[in-house]
Structure formats: structure tokens, C-alpha cells
Amino acid sequence: MKLAYWMYAGPAHIGTLRVASSFKNVHAIMHAPLGDDYFNVMRSMLERERDFTPVTASIVDRYVLARGSQEKVVENITRKDQEEKPDLIVLTPTCTSSILQEDLQNFIRRAQTTTDSDILLADVNHYRVNEFQAADRTLEQIVSFYVQSNSGDIARTKKASANILGILTLGFHHQHDCREIYRLLKDLDIKINLIIPEGCAVTDLYKLPQAWINIVPYREIGLMAAKFLEKEYKMPYVSITPMGLVETASWITQVCEKTNSQINYQKYIDHQTRFVSQAAWFSRSIDCQNLTGKKALVFGDATHAAAMTKILVREMGINVCCAGTYCQHDGDWFREQVQAFCDQVLITDDHTRVGNMIAEIEPAAIFGTQMERHVGKRLDIPCGVISAPIHIQNFPLSYRPFLGYEGTNQIADLVYNSFTLGMEDHLLEIFGGHDVKTVITQKLSTDNNLTWDPAAIAELKKIPGFVRNRIKRNTEKYARSQKVDQITVEVMYAAKEALAA
């Protein structure tokens, strides 16, 4: 048992659901108790999704506990098959249902006799893997199921082409990154064969081996599928994350080499680096000089934390005191990536350890997840969010890639804004700070002849700070209109009631 307040990576079934609901016309059925379908809320809210999330729960309740699911799961599969006519139904066990040890595979066999959809049981262990590992595995599972069930011949496309693996729902800036990769590939004259899983139909998956290479932009999700395709179909893959100028250049080099490109890509890289991206020039400009040697701490998923560390050090001259990740399963890779660039490596999924590290180092800026942002708030250290877990404000409406050349611009802005804000705060403090707080009560609240009795003051204090002044003003306004000069709790309530009249 572990005392936990907060976690970085979600439970396994979230990963499976993210993959399943990213595909087009795939439905996931969770074998779960009431209230576990929280995924639907996240997708509908964070992604501002217009469609109903294709996830339903086959509810595990007391009856199921006593008698087993029996017909229930089969009925729910059959019903979804008729209602939604999906290509594939993914039966997703949850941590609760996996302890029940029901033979879900057997339910699937029975359901198959009455349904048109394909049905798969997500093969993940809820007590051993997290959201990312589960997503990686589920993607591989679906890919191998559809690729292998195709017996026709597989010819490569005439022109060089690539698949992009691992773009999915609720991913950190995934949509924007995908568009940026698409643009890069277009410039390099490489066609996109398939993007999976986001927006892809499973019935198209048989086309995967037609591409020349696979591209895996994020380390966490897609590598297993890429390795499977390499083994079975001899497809090379590129697993560099094109984040930052240096990494984007080596990504382009690898992509072009693996597709035997005839393009002069060195010239392209040079042009993009110097003119399209502003980041290289920014590093040379006077602004960035001020950042030299500033202390920073980086924490996030393996992909983003590693790339960010390299950008800060190699491309901006910032001193990364500590780089860390919560992807413990991938700790070795991470350590190897960042070791040469930072003073310390921190691999943990305990947010208090990260918080303590921040307090100890006192960096000038943090680049982390929403959790680090809150630690930063408490310690008055600015934070740029670079990785999941994230809130709704990290699903921007505008175009904000982290990858490719436009990504380098975005990152430069993020870094620069984080540091200057910190500087501004610091200067304000030196020169006495803002003085907004006192003005509101002194000027706008006309007190003079009104007295608040102690009970009313106590009541006022119960009201949350951000509306307290408004309520105080309204109450006083009301009291004056009623010619009352002693404000009691009753007067407060009466004022609230009278407000609308």
C-alpha cells in the first residue's frame, strides 16, 4: 500500500481507451463499476470533443459480483454492434474487473457468433503497466491483428512514403505536432501513407506495410508497433523526436537516409534553421544572452523532458540543474539521453520528491507538468508546461506545435516568457510591488456610518476571498438603501435575496 496524493501517469485502461477512441469507428466497452467511465468526461471536456466518446461501460455491480457477468458483457457487445456498427469493439478490463478473473476471452468468443464487428480483448495488466505502456501495447495489438489478417500481397508505394505512429486523443499538443510533421514530410517530398491511430479506420490498417518507413515521434506510444512492423515486414523506423533545431535536423537526416531521398536535405535544413525558424537567431540575440547560465529544472514524460533538456542546454545556453522523468519504465533510456546535459537526473513518480528537489535547487524557471506549475506557484518560480498531465488550458485552440521548425519558435517563446515573467516579478518586489489589494476596499466600499456586528464579520470571512469584497459592497449598498446602519447576518441574507428584485 502506498500513500498517494497525485499521480503522473494514469491507470492502464486510460491508455487502451485513448488508442481505441482515437481510431475511427472503433468502440470500447469497459468492464467496470459505475463511475469508472470518467474517461468520457476528460475527452469531452479537455479535447472539447463534439462527438460522443465511443466508450461505454458494461457495469459491474453487486449482481455481477455474486453471479459473474454471464450474459451481460455479451449482451452489451451485441447491442453496441447493432447500435453503432463499429468495425472493431475493444473489450477493456479495468483494475476492478481484472481481480474478478472472469474469462472475458470466452465472452468474446460467444459474442463473435452474433456480431459483425471484430472484437479484441485489451491485453494489459492493470497492476504492472501504466497508461503509456498500455497504450503502446494496445496499438501494437490492434495493428498486428489487422496487418496479419490481410493475406494479400504487400507492395511498397511507388513514391517514398511514411506512416506516423502514435498520434492520439488527449495527447500533449498531438494534433498540432502531427500537422507540423506532415508539413516537414511534404517539403521532403515524402508522402504520408497512414497516420495512426488518430482518425484512421482499422479497415485501412492493412495498408501499413506499403509505406517505406515508420515515424514514431513520441517515445511513449508507438515503438512497440514500429518494432513489430520492422520484424514482420522489414520496415525501418525513425524514433528520433524532431523537437528543437538539432534534433529536427537529425530527424530529417535519418528520414531522408532511410528513404534514400535524392533531395539535398542539408540545404533544406540550413534554410529552415536560419530563416523559417527564429530560434537559432533568437539564441544569438541579446535577449537570449541574458538567459546564459540561468538555472532551470526539467521534468515530464521521457520524450519531452529529454528533448527540452537538450534544447535548453545546447540551443539556449541555460544551465539545467536537474532533468527528470516519471516514466520509470524507460529510465535507462532517459538517463543515457540527458546525462551529458545536466547536473542531476531524477527518475521518480512521486511528486513530493520533485517538489522537494525544486525547493532545494531554487531554479529561475521550471519546465514541467501541471504539478510542477503548482509547485512553482507556491514557491514563486515561473513554470512552462511541456508535458502531460495537463489541464484544459494545454489544449489550445491556436496552432501550437512542439515539433518541427514552427515548434522551435513556440518553445523559444515559452522559455523566454517564463524567464522574463520571473524577472518582472522580481523587479516589482524590489520596487515595492503592485498595490491593487488595498485600493478595492478603501475606495469603493463606502463604510463611514455602517457597523458590522461580530457575527456578520465572521459570516463575511466564510465567503471565498475572490467574491468577498463584492458581497461586502452589495450588502452595504443594500443597508444604506434600507437605512440600516448596523449590519447583522440577517441583513446580509436579506441583501442577497433583494439583489435580483
Partner 1 sequence: MPFTETLKFECETGNYHTFCPISCVAWLYQKISDSFFLVIGTKTCGYFLQNALGVMIFAEPRYAMAELEEGDISAQLHDFDELKRLCVQIYQDRNPSVIVWIGTCTTEIIKMDLEGMAPKIEQIIGCPIIVARANGLDYAFTQGEDTVLAAMAHRCPVIQTKQNQEDQAPLVLFGSLPNTVAEQLTRELANQGIKVSGWLPESRYEELPQLGSGVYVCGVNPFLSRTATTLMRRRKCQLIGAPFPIGPDGTRAWIEKICKVFDIQPQDLDQRENNIWESLQPYISLIKGRSVFFMGDNLLEISLARFLVRCGMIVYEIGIPYMDKRFQASELNLLEKTCQQMNVSMPRIVEKPDNYNQVQRIRALQPDLVITGLAHSNPLEARGITTKWSVEFTFAQIHGFTNARDILELVTRPLRRNNHLKDFGSAKRALVRTL
Concatenate the DSSP letters of all residues of 268-307 into one string.
Answer: HHHHIIIII-SHHHHHHSHHHHTTTT-EEEEEESHHHHHH
> Which range touches partner 1 (CB under 8 A), out of 58-66, 153-161, 267-275, 403-411?
58-66
Q: Contact between 482 and partner 1 (CB under 8 A)?
A: no
Could you tell me which of 83, 76, 24, 71 has the C-alpha nearest to residue 51?
A: 24
Q: Contact between 500 and partner 1 (CB under 8 A)?
A: yes
**Taking the complex as a whole, how short is the minimal distance between the CB of residue 499 and partner 1, in angstroms?**
8
**Taking the complex as a whole, how short is the minimal distance between the CB of residue 282 and partner 1, in angstroms?**
32
Query: CA dist 359 to 272, 376, 380, Å?
Result: 39, 9, 10
Q: Contact between 372 and partner 1 (CB under 8 A)?
A: no
Q: Please say which residue, 447 or 497, places its beta carbon nearer to partner 1.
A: 497
Q: Contact between 45 and partner 1 (CB under 8 A)?
A: yes
Rounded distance, CA 478 to CA 461, Å?
19
Q: Please say which residue, 100 or 263, places its beta carbon nearer to partner 1.
A: 100
Half-sphere exposure of 391 (CA within 13 A, CB side): 9
Q: Please say which residue, 12 or 288, places its beta carbon nearer to partner 1.
A: 12
The annotation status of 36 as a binding-site residue, yes or no, is yes
Q: Please say which residue, 57 or 164, places its beta carbon nearer to partner 1.
A: 57
Q: Please say which residue, 56 or 141, places its beta carbon nearer to partner 1.
A: 56
Question: What are φ and ψ of residue 432, in 5° steps?
Answer: 100, -10
Provide CB contacts within 8 A for 470, sequence distance 6+: none
Using CB under 8 A, pick the residue from 463, 468, 469, 474 that binds partner 1.
Answer: 463
Rounded distance, CA 367 to CA 382, Å?
9
Rounded to 5°, the CA angle 49-203-103 comes to: 85
Q: Contact between 5 and partner 1 (CB under 8 A)?
A: yes
> Which range touches partner 1 (CB under 8 A), out of 152-160, 263-271, 317-325, 455-463?
455-463
Half-sphere exposure of 406 (CA within 13 A, CB side): 14
Q: Contact between 42 and partner 1 (CB under 8 A)?
A: yes
Looking at residue 453, the DSSP 8-state letter turns out to be -
| Selected catalytic residue, list 123, 287, 343, 380 | 287
- By CB under 8 A, the count of residues binding partner 1 is 64
For the beta carbon of residue 213, count every other beta carbon within 10 angstroms: 22
Rounded distance, CA 91 to CA 295, Å?
47
Using CB under 8 A, pick the residue from 67, 128, 274, 426 that binds partner 1.
Answer: 128
Q: Contact between 37 and partner 1 (CB under 8 A)?
A: yes
**Taking the complex as a whole, how short is the minimal distance between the CB of residue 13 and partner 1, in angstroms?**
7
Using CB under 8 A, pick the residue from 96, 112, 344, 409 that binds partner 1.
Answer: 96
Contact 39, 56 (CB under 8 A): no
In the chain, the amino acid numbered 13 is H
The grid cell for 429 is 518586489
Q: Please say which residue, 117 or 337, places its beta carbon nearer to partner 1.
A: 117
> Which range touches partner 1 (CB under 8 A), out of 92-100, 144-152, 238-246, 339-347?
92-100
Rounded to 5°, the CA angle 458-460-462 comes to: 75
The grid cell for 184 is 516537414
Rounded to 5°, the CA angle 404-406-407 comes to: 60
Question: What are φ and ψ of residue 445, in 5° steps?
Answer: -100, 110
Using CB under 8 A, pick the residue from 19, 20, 28, 59 that binds partner 1.
Answer: 59
Using CB under 8 A, pick the residue from 192, 246, 421, 489 that binds partner 1.
Answer: 489
**Taking the complex as a whole, how short is the minimal distance between the CB of residue 200 and partner 1, in angstroms?**
21
Long-range CB contacts for residues 438-447, cutoff 8 Å, separation at least 24: 440/469, 441/469, 441/472, 444/469, 444/473, 445/469, 445/472, 445/473, 445/476, 446/476, 446/480, 447/476
The annotation status of 171 as a binding-site residue, yes or no, is no
**Taking the complex as a whole, how short is the minimal distance between the CB of residue 348 and partner 1, in angstroms?**
15
287 is catalytic: yes
Query: Segment 389-418, which members bind partner 1 (CB under 8 A)?
Result: 391
Q: Contact between 44 and partner 1 (CB under 8 A)?
A: yes
Q: Contact between 501 and partner 1 (CB under 8 A)?
A: yes
> Which range touches partner 1 (CB under 8 A), out of 5-13, 172-180, 195-203, 334-342?
5-13
Q: Contact between 427 and partner 1 (CB under 8 A)?
A: no
Rounded distance, CA 406 to CA 395, Å?
17
Q: Contact between 33 and partner 1 (CB under 8 A)?
A: yes
Q: Contact between 36 and partner 1 (CB under 8 A)?
A: yes
The annotation status of 136 as a binding-site residue, yes or no, is no
Annotated binding-site positions for substrate: 422-423
Annotated binding-site positions for [4Fe-4S] cluster: 36
Give the residues lining the site for partner 1 (CB under 8 A): 1-7, 10-11, 13-14, 32-38, 40-42, 44-45, 48-53, 56-62, 65, 76, 83, 94-96, 99-100, 126-128, 130, 371, 374, 377, 391, 459, 462-463, 489-490, 493, 496-501
The residues annotated as belonging to the active site are 287
